[in-house]
Amino acid sequence: MLGNLLPYRHIAPLMRTSLFTAVCATALLTAPTSGQVVDPRIEAILQGVSAEHLHEYLAMLTSFETRHSLSFSDRANFGVLPARQYILETMQRFSDRLQVEFDCYEVEPQGRIPEQAQLCNVVATLPGRSERRIFVSGHYDTVARIEASDPASGGGGGGFDWSRYDNPAPGANDDGSGTVLTMEAARVLAQSGIEFDATLVFVAFVAEEEGLVGASLMAARAEREGWVIDAMFNNDIIGNSLGGNGILDSRTLRVFSEDPMDSPSRQLARFIRRQGATYMPGHEVRLIAREDRFGRGGDHTAFNRRGYAGVRFSESRENYSRQHTAQDTLGGVDFEYLARNTRVNTAGVATMAIAPPAPNVNGPRGPMLGRGESGYHAEMRWQRSPGATRYRVVWREAWTPDWQHEVIVGDVDRFVLENISIDDYVFGIAAIGPDGHESLVSAYVRPPRSRSDIREVGQRR
């Protein structure tokens, strides 16, 4: 279980060494079992999340009839243009601290986009003290099937026609819910008065339904311009508590993260569950060891594929009859449930944004993990994180999905666990700031071997 104290059989021999005294500036036997603080500033932010505001934003978004990415029109109350303008102007009113703008791209005909179009993400940036960035997102575009009764379907049943931008597609839950969650998180964090270390970026993506187009364009820009992105909190289909099978679940949500077990995405998921349990103990974060729902994808996928840590938040019980149909209306959204999911997001973002950056555990030759002088110990080294005052060392058996043990150590860059085999356990380090907030865990992971690393031991006949 996360937060267990170091077993005594591992502490006792360690305490007899001079290295323990020199390296560990804190008393292990009195280390907190969770290593986690509850910040009243973050509690106040979460109390400010409003189900009424979420309803207000979503009622307006669904009033545009469709937000299909190509639903360009001169009508003031129809389609994607007034929808994106509403999102921009609403977030501009939240705070003078928010820098709100369109992030636009000229997109040539491709895939599900049959004609050249200018597609615009809506981006609100809350500058921090550093250049590292934390993203929160949802996609504001919608799409809906042609119903079997529609003459355009030829009577052959429902299906997609990506060029039909005028189908009624309110998209209340897919993904108006993720969009308004992003907006409300931007509001409460911008109005908190906290100067965060990390820069917070709130994005309503366009053209997710056409193949993650808006997110892919921004992720490519991030890579091209060298952005430092700590995390991507993507929210998609996040507001419905009553499943299509009749099961009601308003007390859990799912967080999807990609393989392998110690990927940046997986570390982010563990962090989110840890913060959720601290600030929203009655609302369980269920970790799903999969990048997305089976055979599906979301905007975080575009960031994962470029090496950024991204996860997808989604409701626990989906109603597929309300997805990509004209029935995806306000009546299918539980706004109290959506508010709780907003608080889980916001708790993770705020904690990470206050905390120092995660420590670097890699040297020129790979992970800085060895067996010590004896050959039988776990010797960890890392580069200190700016602003950190101590570190949390965590480890687990290599066949176990979550951290089992931890030790809080001082402002050091080296630690040894005696008689702990680096073959049998996985290790990680998190940086802790002076107020107790901690970073993501940096795990000691050997990169996959390339073909050039594998020597031929025989010759095929």
For residue 186, give the CATH number of its domain: 3.40.630.10
Lowest mean pLDDT among 31-35, 114-118, 198-202, 409-413: 31-35
pLDDT(60) > 50: yes
Give the pLDDT of residue 31.
33
Taking residue 121's Cβ as centre, other Cβ atoms within 10 Å add up to 25
pLDDT(113) > 50: yes
Read off the tokens for 376.
């039988």
For the segment 203-212, the average pLDDT, to the nearest whole number, is 97
Let me know whether 312 and 190 are in one domain: yes
88 in any annotated domain = yes
Please report, in angstroms and rounded to a whole number, the separation of the first and last CA atoms in the chain. Answer: 51
459 in any annotated domain = no
Let me know whether 323 and 344 are in one domain: yes
Read off the tokens for 380.
């960890």
Which tens digits make up the pLDDT trace of 326-363?
Answer: 999 999 999 999 999 999 999 999 999 999 999 999 99
Give the pLDDT of residue 296.
86
Let me know whether 26 and 44 are in one domain: no
**Triad 443, 444, 450: Cα angle to 5°:** 120
Question: Which of 294, 319, 354 marks a domain boundary?
Answer: 354
Question: Which of 354, 387, 420 marks a domain boundary?
Answer: 354
When pLDDT is cut at 50, 70 and 90, the band that residue 297 belongs to is confident
1 in any annotated domain = no
Which residue is listed with tokens 């997001």?
A: 345
Let me know whether 88 and 175 are in one domain: yes
460 in any annotated domain = no
Let me know whether 138 and 166 are in one domain: yes
- CA–CA gap between residue 174 and residue 179 (Å, rounded): 9
Let me know whether 201 and 346 are in one domain: yes
Calculate what percentage of the chain has a pLDDT beyond 90: 81
When pLDDT is cut at 50, 70 and 90, the band that residue 4 belongs to is very low
Instruction: Show the domain range for 373.
Output: 8-33+356-447
Let me know whether 322 and 360 are in one domain: no
Residue 423 sits in a domain whose CATH number is: 2.60.40.10
Give the pLDDT of residue 448.
63
Which residue is listed with tokens 């071997």?
A: 449
Read off the tokens for 64.
């545009």
Let me know whether 323 and 388 are in one domain: no
Let me know whether 204 and 164 are in one domain: yes
Let me know whether 263 and 376 are in one domain: no
- CA–CA gap between residue 370 and residue 377 (Å, rounded): 8
Beta-carbon contacts of 371 under 8 Å, excluding residues fewer than 6 positions away, are 377, 378, 379, 422
Question: Which of 322, 354, 386 marks a domain boundary?
Answer: 354
Let me know whether 193 and 338 are in one domain: yes
131 in any annotated domain = yes
Between residues 220 and 451, the one the model is more confident about: 220
What total of structural domains would you count in the chain? Answer: 2
452 in any annotated domain = no
Taking residue 146's Cβ as centre, other Cβ atoms within 10 Å add up to 18
Q: Identify the CA nearest to 263 among candidates 302, 218, 231, 233.
A: 231
When pLDDT is cut at 50, 70 and 90, the band that residue 8 belongs to is very low
- CA–CA gap between residue 362 and residue 369 (Å, rounded): 9
- CA–CA gap between residue 296 and residue 234 (Å, rounded): 14
Give the pLDDT of residue 2.
34
The sheet carrying 369-370 orders its strands as 369-370, 378-381, 414-417
Sign of the Cα pseudo-torsion (127, 128, 133, 137, in order): negative
389 in any annotated domain = yes
Between residues 358 and 18, the one the model is more confident about: 358
For the segment 19-33, the average pLDDT, to the nearest whole number, is 35
Give the pLDDT of residue 436.
95
Beta-carbon contacts of 116 under 8 Å, excluding residues fewer than 6 positions away, are 106, 107, 108, 109
343 in any annotated domain = yes
Which tens digits make up the pLDDT trace of 377-412?
Answer: 999 999 999 999 999 999 999 999 999 999 999 999
Let me know whether 204 and 293 are in one domain: yes
For the segment 58-82, the average pLDDT, to the nearest whole number, is 97
Q: Identify the CA nearest to 412 among candidates 373, 359, 362.
A: 359
- CA–CA gap between residue 353 and residue 441 (Å, rounded): 14
